[in-house]
């Protein structure tokens, strides 16, 4: 068939869409490669993908705040562009699919220098900094929110809707309970602060455990390096991050407490999981998660708790309120959730652009 190279990284949200697409291309006989950073989470996640060759380049973060690394990182980006250019020149992919994150910027520029078409995927309501830099060099930009076209060149927008990993539809209640040791005696909360974790959410959850575990069983995904082995309670399991086990855990989950990354919240919507969203603050981000969370709140799919307001008592109260009203949330999800096959739409676009090259 053809050869496709994927890029994206820095957080799990910049990899999950790629993980959903890659097996489909492999099943159709495409050669699949990945261009990421030397040490990012994308390398860890792609390592378990059979038949995928992984290439590493230097990458720097483009920060919105003062930091000594802002002096060094532009040189890393330039180095990464040259490395990506050489890798792409040798590999000769027919097309590159970019999920964003700062590692993608050198790759998109390297692709442009090699005249290889690039398709970008933007999950959030408004494009992130890395994608804003890369969009002028892309052929098309796939969007998850229909309203994102207000922030992009009209000629490049291709609305596809949310991409859902097929593995999430194959979760097993029995496997989830076997992994966690939970029973059907109490409802299950899944609490996750993103692949990099959230110290404030973790602290509030641990302070709330004596009260929460009276009513719920809890799976707490703390983020890389943020588990605390001194904390334990009946019906409480913690882990840094889940990959293979996540579909099983989500199947047994009744409520989700989460950040508001677009990929994750659309997956919870697809699975009809009522959610309490705690978006990253503007001090921590560009405010994209606040917009995502507000969009879901207005649609009636979630409740929202701002991190600045987060306390253990308020967390307990809002979780109980969400659980008591869960059926109303589920009903709105059933009637309002998108039904388009976004994976198929993206694949059709990729194959069309690759063929035109």
| pLDDT by 10s per residue, the chain, length 357 | 799 999 998 877 789 899 999 999 999 999 999 999 998 889 988 988 899 999 999 886 654 544 545 545 667 788 999 999 999 999 999 999 999 888 999 999 999 999 999 999 998 888 888 899 999 999 999 999 888 988 898 999 999 999 888 889 999 999 999 999 999 999 999 999 876 558 899 999 999 999 999 999 999 999 888 999 999 999 999 999 898 999 999 999 999 999 998 989 999 999 999 999 999 887 777 788 999 999 999 999 999 999 999 999 999 999 999 999 999 999 999 998 887 789 999 999 999 999 987
Residues 14 and 156 in one domain: yes
- Tokens linked to 291: 């917009």
CATH of the domain at 172: 3.40.50.2000
Q: Which residues of 348-357 are buried (b: 16+ CB within 10 A; e: fewer)?
A: ebbbebbeee
Q: What is the span of the domain harbouring residue 85?
A: 3-161+340-356
Residues 129 and 176 in one domain: no
Residues 144 and 19 in one domain: yes
- Per DSSP, the three-state class of 283 is coil
- CA 322 to each of CA 222, 262, 279, 311: distance values in angstroms, whole numbers, following the listed order: 21, 20, 17, 16
The confidence score (pLDDT) of residue 282 equals 79
Q: Is the pTM of this model over 0.85?
A: no
Report the alpha-carbon distance of residue 99 to residue 8 in Å, rounded: 5
Residues 103 and 227 in one domain: no
Residues 143 and 171 in one domain: no
User: Which residue is it, tokens 């090699």?
Assistant: 114
Q: Cα angle vertex 123, ends 18, 27, to 5°?
A: 25
Give the number of domains in the chain: 2
Residues 286 and 146 in one domain: no
- Tokens linked to 62: 């483009």
- β-pair partners for 218: 189, 236
The confidence score (pLDDT) of residue 70 equals 52
Report the alpha-carbon distance of residue 315 to residue 256 in Å, rounded: 12
Residues 317 and 198 in one domain: yes
Residues 348 and 290 in one domain: no
Report the alpha-carbon distance of residue 99 to residue 195 in Å, rounded: 16
The confidence score (pLDDT) of residue 47 equals 83
- Per DSSP, the three-state class of 306 is coil
Q: Closest Cα partner for 158 from 101, 107, 118?
A: 118
- β-pair partners for 256: 190, 275
């Amino acid at each position: 068939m053809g050869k496709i190279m994927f890029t994206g990284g820095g957080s799990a949200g910049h990899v999950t869409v790629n993980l959903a697409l890659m097996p489909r291309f492999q099943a159709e006989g495409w050669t699949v490669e990945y261009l990421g950073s030397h040490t990012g989470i994308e390398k860890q996640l792609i390592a378990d993908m059979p038949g995928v060759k992984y290439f590493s380049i230097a990458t720097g973060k483009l920060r919105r705040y003062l930091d000594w690394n802002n002096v060094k990182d532009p040189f890393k980006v330039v180095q990464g562009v040259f490395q990506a250019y050489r890798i792409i020149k040798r590999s000769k992919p027919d097309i590159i699919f970019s999920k964003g994150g700062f590692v993608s910027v050198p790759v998109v520029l390297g692709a442009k220098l090699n005249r290889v078409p690039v398709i970008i995927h933007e999950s959030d309501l408004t494009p992130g900094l890395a994608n804003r830099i890369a969009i002028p060099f892309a052929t098309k930009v796939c969007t998850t929110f229909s309203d994102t076209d207000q922030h992009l060149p009209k000629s490049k927008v291709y609305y596809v809707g949310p991409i859902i990993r097929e593995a999430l539809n194959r979760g097993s209640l029995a496997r989830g309970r076997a992994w966690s040791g939970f029973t059907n005696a109490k409802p299950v909360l899944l609490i996750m602060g993103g692949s990099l974790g959230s110290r404030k959410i973790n602290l509030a959850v641990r302070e709330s455990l004596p009260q929460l575990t009276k009513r719920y069983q809890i799976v707490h995904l703390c983020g890389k390096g943020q588990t605390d082995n001194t904390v334990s309670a009946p019906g409480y399991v913690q882990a840094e991050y889940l990959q293979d086990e996540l579909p099983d855990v989500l199947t047994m989950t009744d409520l989700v407490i989460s950040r508001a990354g677009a990929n994750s919240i659309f997956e919870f919507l697809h699975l009809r999981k009522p959610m309490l969203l705690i978006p990253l603050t503007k001090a921590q981000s560009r405010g994209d998660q606040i917009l995502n969370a507000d969009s879901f709140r207005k649609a009636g799919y979630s409740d929202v708790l701002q991190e600045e307001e987060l306390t253990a008592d308020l967390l307990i109260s809002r979780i109980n309120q969400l659980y008591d009203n869960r059926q109303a949330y589920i009903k709105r999800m059933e009637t309002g959730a998108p039904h388009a096959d976004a994976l198929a739409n993206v694949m059709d676009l990729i194959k069309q652009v690759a063929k035109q090259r």
